[in-house]
Amino acid sequence: MSFYKNILAIGVVTVCVTGCKGNLFSKHIACDDTEALLLVNQVLKDNLTNQLESELKSLISDGAIKDLDPAKLKLSAQSINFTLMDSRTEFIDPNSSKTNCSIDLATILPSDVVKKSDEARVKVDRYSTESQANDLGVDFDNNKINLTLEYTLQPSDKGDKIFTLVKNTNNFNTLISDTLTYAFLKPQIEKNQIKLKEAETKQAVNAAYEANLAAQDAAAAAAQATAAETEYYSEY
């Protein structure tokens, strides 16, 4: 999301993360494998961090955060926790070591973050968090996001690592990233609007002052013209 732009990215997020296993294991990895699920959770966190870093670069480039600490945006990601429950095996590929899985993913956005985000969105005439979720097709209710996450697991040829491919999180990730970003930007937006109002007030005062001077000059000129005309008639 480039700020002040509502971009609804649709696609597949592909991330490969490796994790060591102490023991060799069979050709396929179970969808509920503990280490595999830890990797899936880490991928989700890394994806969010990476998106926030990308957004941060854009904001800095646009000069949109002159009065804010950039580090606070990335730190805000720490308030997001991902809960994975009820994994299911969708397909075990007989021709490779890949296993396609799905699992219920739930994330609760902090209420104060959503509140700040929505207040900031109103100030810049943007969708509320709930409206954006509807637009993205994300299940969002009472600050909770639900998603049936799809992922693929595969061991390395040596059997000492797990590779995980996480799918269908693009819109899910966009909603969280945008919510955190707007909440982060709220103080800057308010400062910018105060400065804009002050500038407009100053401009209006200056305009009124100039108009008053012009009116005084016009009145003086009219008085001089009247005096000159009176003097002319007197001499006549």
Q: How far is CA 123 from the centre of its chain?
A: 15
Query: What does the pLDDT read at residue 107?
Result: 97
Residue for token pair 């990233």: 177
Query: What does the pLDDT read at residue 192?
Result: 74
Length of the chain: 236
Query: What does the pLDDT read at residue 191?
Result: 86
Q: Which helix (H) or strand (E) holds 101?
A: strand 99-108
Can you give the pTM of this predicted structure? 0.73
Query: What does the pLDDT read at residue 195?
Result: 55
Query: What does the pLDDT read at residue 212?
Result: 56
Query: What does the pLDDT read at residue 9?
Result: 30
**What is the block-wise mean pLDDT of the chain (236 residues), using blocks of 10 residues?**
36 44 63 96 95 90 82 90 97 94 97 96 94 97 97 91 94 96 92 58 50 55 61 55
Query: What does the pLDDT read at residue 11?
Result: 36
Using an 8 Å Cβ cutoff, are 165 and 158 in contact? no
Burial degree of 150 (CB within 10 A; 0-12, 13-18, 19+): middle
Q: How far is CA 190 from CA 15, 51, 185, in A?
A: 37, 24, 9
Query: What does the pLDDT read at residue 3?
Result: 40
